[in-house]
Amino acid sequence: MRFLLPLTATALVCLASPAMAKPAANPFFTPWKTPFAVPPFAQIKTEHFMPALEEGIKQQKKEIEAIVKNSAKPTFKNTVAALDDSGLLLVKVYNVFDLLKGAETNDALQVIEAKVGPLMAANQDDINLNEGLFQRVKVVFETRTTLKLNPEESTLLEKTYRRFVRGGANLTATQKDRLRAINGELSSLKIKFSDNLLKETNAYKLVVDSKADLAGLPEGQIFAAADAAKQAGLAGKWVFTLKSPSIWPFLQSAENRELRRQILTAYSTRCDKGGDTDNKAIFAKLASLRVEKSQLLGYKNWGEFVLAENMAKTPENAYKLMEQLWVPSLKVAKQEAAELQAMIDAEKGGFKLEPWDWRFYSEKVKKAKYDLDEEAMKPYFPLEGVRTGAFTLASKLFGITFTERKDLPIYNPEVQAFEVKEKDGKHIGILYMDFHPRPGKRGGAWMSTLKEQWIQNGKFITPVIYNVSNYSRPAGDAPALLTPDEAETLFHEFGHAMHFMLSNCRFRGSGNVAQDFVELPSQIMENWVFEPEMLKLYAKHYKTGEVIPEALVQKLKKAGNFNIGFAWTEKLAASLLDMDWHTLSDAKVLDATSFEKSRMEKWGLMAEILPRYRTPYFSHSADEYSAGYYSYTWSEVLDSDAFQAFKDKGNLFDPQTAKAFRKLLSKVGSEDPAAIYREFRGRDPKVEALIDKRGLK
């Protein structure tokens, strides 16, 4: 359930160097004549990116120079708003690049990516460390109380000022040089980390050549594995990979314990085996550079630096919440482990529960205890049906509609484009959806923007947004059938899309949202997925169209918190690991293996559960979500509490509450999150709804 912050003008900027291509040939240099000015993907070639990015930087540099050289006294409009308005070409190019490098990459794009990353970081520094620009922003900031700014303007001014200070504007010349060097190195290391991970994830194949070793696996999975084998030139065999739609169902169903051990071991030792693609030293170096950077900027550690901008404010507050949930989660997980062990013993298994047994036996216990079989559920969750369910939910809550537009350019034949409209037909924006794994797509699921909503010279710019994910493909004659987890992820990413789709802000900078608030719009959507009222609307058998039977709904509801101890323990273990790495206050480069081991021992993580991510493949923690993995938990406090507002009304689609929530969505990021939340709920968030919902007492 990954989510990447959209890149706004404030979050980026870029390079300098080689010769320019002929501008006329480059589609980035002309206005797009496509419907809704979406990118003309067919015309955009790899070689267009570098010249367009370079030109974009050049243009923004000029725009910034004009701001700095303005002889008029600094005002909000001629400085802060002008800065927010700058860099339009660069954003236009980078957004397309960013989409393709995640969803449709190849060797040529990866070569460019390795250059673009550090250059973007360098150019970001050129802005953040521009003394003349900072002085103007500072003048506006220092007179802010006299300026009669509206809340969105005040927020943008404060964010802008803090960005400069956090970017090093108050440092000495020597310190600034050091900061630039650190930023450049961080950027290169992050790219190397993610390339290594992609490489190792793609490289592994579990090849099965005997049918007996497939025992326990459902037919759909066997089909998919046979298909994967064919594509790998291994026709007649079966191939399983470390991609989510392959490994997790395998671990759930495969009776062959040795093969389960092999695939989970391959997964959990990715980038941890030495050699060129080992990530341990890279991660440790990232952590150490972050200590140095945060201390240069006056903070004790990276966690303090990051959380100062978040709703949590300090690592202590984040730890407090995590610890509050960690103790009961671990307690429940231990009870679960005992149940699984009892099942193993009853079967005379003669072994002790290990991480590669957990999913397999918990599936069995679930069947025995709740008579609930995930495979029996899947026919009610065809991908099309679940997607329609998400659309239906948005229609019921916000009164909006979705129409597929086959006339829009797409970047891969599998991608679908939808136009989103108000009830009265008014255009809101475009949503691209790209659902299945491909070799050029990185793992996970995410949302980002090709064009963000804002108001340009009085003109309302409508957003273009995408959801990219890696759900199971159709197998055999059946359409793509989702697991309940996948259905939840689809709603989650769709929630992010709704946030940016329904945004109503003047500034692009308002799209930068505190990390621990930004998961509220997505996670709240997960609350509806398995509610009986909602299931009736979308969970229909792909063959018969029959609505999911009431008995199955009841079972699902009863089993709702099954295995919750495991899920929370692995999630919180990763969150704690991330925060532990980022609250170090000594820049010494540590040995990642022993650090992780000692922290997990300190927290008392049980041996049967691995942290959801281990250090060598913890890409959230290596990158945008460093010191931020707790955000999912923090946001879950918010989403559970917000969803409770609907429940309290006795109507999960209560129009008044939905209207208030749409208002919240329209201005996320444009004001202080705590204030926006208070306006919606009439009070601060409370943790009780979450503890209740998850049964973690």
Residues involved in catalysis: 493
Q: How far is the CB of 523 from Zn ion (least distance, A)?
A: 7
- Can residue 471 be called a binding residue for Zn ion (CB under 5 A)? no
Which pairing describes strands 427-434 and 464-468: parallel, antiparallel, or unpaired?
parallel
Query: Nearest approach, Cβ of 384 to Zn ion (angstroms)?
Result: 22
Q: By Cβ distance, which residue is nearest to Zn ion?
A: 3
Q: What is the distance between the alpha carbons of residues 57 and 14, in angstroms, rounded to a whole number?
A: 5
- How many other C-beta atoms are found inside a 10 Å radius of the C-beta of residue 278? 17
Stretch that binds Zn ion, among 176-184, 260-268, 421-429, 520-528 (CB under 5 A): 520-528
Q: With CB under 5 A as the contact rule, which of the stretches 2-10, 557-565, 587-595, 674-682 interacts with Zn ion? A: 2-10
Residue 129 to residue 210: CA distance in whole angstroms: 62
Smallest separation (angstroms) from Zn ion to the CB of 489: 9
Which residue has 């300090």 as its token pair? 314
CA-wise closest residue to 669 among 505, 431, 520, 525: 505
CA 153/CA 506 separation, integer angstroms: 9
Cβ-based nearer residue to Zn ion, 377 or 520: 520
For residue 195, what are the CA distances in angstroms to 15, 202, 229, 279?
21, 11, 24, 10
Closer of 51 and 521 to Zn ion (Cβ) = 521
Our finding on whether 3 is near Zn ion (CB under 5 A) is yes
Task: Between 380 and 500, name the residue whose CB sits nearer to Zn ion.
Answer: 500
Of 15-23, 320-328, 514-522, 537-545, the segment contacting Zn ion by CB under 5 A is 514-522
What is the smallest separation between the CB atom of 622 and Zn ion, expressed in angstroms? Answer: 17
In the complex, least distance from residue 351 CB atom to Zn ion, rounded to whole angstroms: 37
C-beta of 633: minimal distance to Zn ion in Å? 12
Q: Closer to Zn ion by CB, 54 or 519: give it.
A: 519
Compose the 151-190 pattern: x for residues touching Zn ion by CB under 5 A, - for all others: ----------------------------------------
Judged by CB under 5 A, the stretch of 191-199, 281-289, 378-386, 511-519 that binds Zn ion is 511-519
Residue 522 or 569: which CB sits closer to Zn ion? 522
DSSP 459: E
Residue 208: CB partners within 8 Å, gap ≥ 6? 214, 225, 237, 238, 239, 240, 259
The structure tokens 């003008």 sit at 9
CB nearer to Zn ion: give 229 or 664. 664
Q: Which stretch binds Zn ion (CB under 5 A): 86-94, 521-529, 605-613, 637-645?
A: 521-529
Enclosing H/E stretch for 511: none
Cβ count within 10 A of residue 428: 19
Nearer to Zn ion, 562 or 568 (CB): 568
Least separation in angstroms between residue 554's CB and Zn ion is 29
Alpha carbon distance 288, 626 (integer Å): 13
Distance CA 611, CA 614 (A): 6
> Are the beta carbons of 685 and 677 closer than 8 angstroms?
yes
For residue 575, the minimal CB distance to Zn ion (Å) is 14
CB of 607 to Zn ion, least distance (A): 30
Size of the site for Zn ion (CB under 5 A): 3
Q: How far apart are CA 215 and CA 237, in angstroms?
A: 14
- Rounded CA gap, 294 and 178, in Å? 12
Write the DSSP string, 116-165: HHHHHHHHHHHHHT-HHHHHHHHHHHHTGGGS---HHHHHHHHHHHHHHH
Q: Which helix (H) or strand (E) segment is 240 a member of?
A: strand 238-240
Among 105, 123, 469, 522, binds Zn ion (CB under 5 A): 522
Q: Which residue lies nearer to Zn ion by CB, 452 or 519?
A: 519
Under rule CB under 5 A, residue 494 binds Zn ion: no
d(CA 127, CA 115): 19
Stretch that binds Zn ion, among 27-35, 304-312, 517-525, 550-558 (CB under 5 A): 517-525
User: Which residue, 1 or 587, has its beta carbon nearer to Zn ion?
Assistant: 1
CA 676 from centre of chain? 22
List residues near Zn ion by CB under 5 A: 3, 519, 522
